[in-house]
Amino acid sequence: MILSLPAAFWLDPVVTGACYLPVHDGRWQVARWISKYGDWPPILCAGLAVVAGLVLGREHAAGRFVLLVLVAGLLTGLAANVVRCTAGRTRPSAPVPQGFYGLRYEGKWIIGKYNFSSFPSGHTAVWAGLAGAAWARRRSLAAALLLGGAAVAWSRMALGCHHFSDVTASFIWGLAVGPWLVNRLAQPIDILWSRLRLPGK
């Protein structure tokens, strides 16, 4: 899977350019909507709402599983954001020569600066992490999350926020780290869940 990353860098000009949409294109608004609601705050709110609904419906095992997947996915995205802030890769729309600049550019710190925060895509990493976390137990859910992640990845490229290699790296990262986090977080989540006073327990 990791071997696809060099190919993604090679295909960057073609795929990134093909996905990019000008503002006057009607699909741009669709991409903007997907990008806005495919970010981690809406995902967190939606995930917690699902967990609450399952608990109220006395589906405690399912609620615990959704919480586990949610936490794993969000932590995967958080880790990707740490890399993104330190790699210093330029956005496709950045008004500077394209490249990886690390922590400084022209003698100035660029940690967290928008124009230098392209690699990898935090949006996509969250979705890939969710899919990777769900894969072992709920393949149908994981497949749906992968489709959602593909839509989010497209939207980020359509808006000129990321390169094709950025979203590819995020998929590789999320699908690898998501399952690992599920295994590490299962026991702490179970302990937390057992201490909650939930209806029907």
Q: What is the C-alpha separation between 36 and 132, in angstroms, rounded? A: 22
Could you report the per-residue pLDDT of 37-50, keeping only the tens digit for each?
Answer: 999 999 999 999 99
Indicate whether 159 belongs to any domain. yes
Residue 118 near residue 166, CB atoms below 8 Å: yes
The percentage of residues in the chain with a pLDDT greater than 70, rounded to a whole number, is 97
Instruction: Tell me the CA distances in angstroms from 100 to 63, 94, 122, one per residue in order.
Output: 41, 12, 17
Q: Is the pLDDT of residue 201 over 60?
A: no
User: For the residues 1-25, what does the mean pLDDT come to?
Assistant: 91
- Tell me how many domains the chain contains: 1
Write down the pTM of the prediction.
Answer: 0.94
Q: Residue 106 falls within a domain, yes or no? A: no
Task: State the pLDDT at residue 200.
Answer: 62
Does any domain span residue 62? yes
How big is the chain, counted in residues?
201
The 3-state DSSP class for residue 26 equals: helix
Q: What is the pLDDT of residues 89-135, one digit of tens each?
A: 999 999 999 999 999 999 999 998 999 999 999 999 999 999 999 99
The answer to whether residue 90 sits within a structural domain is no
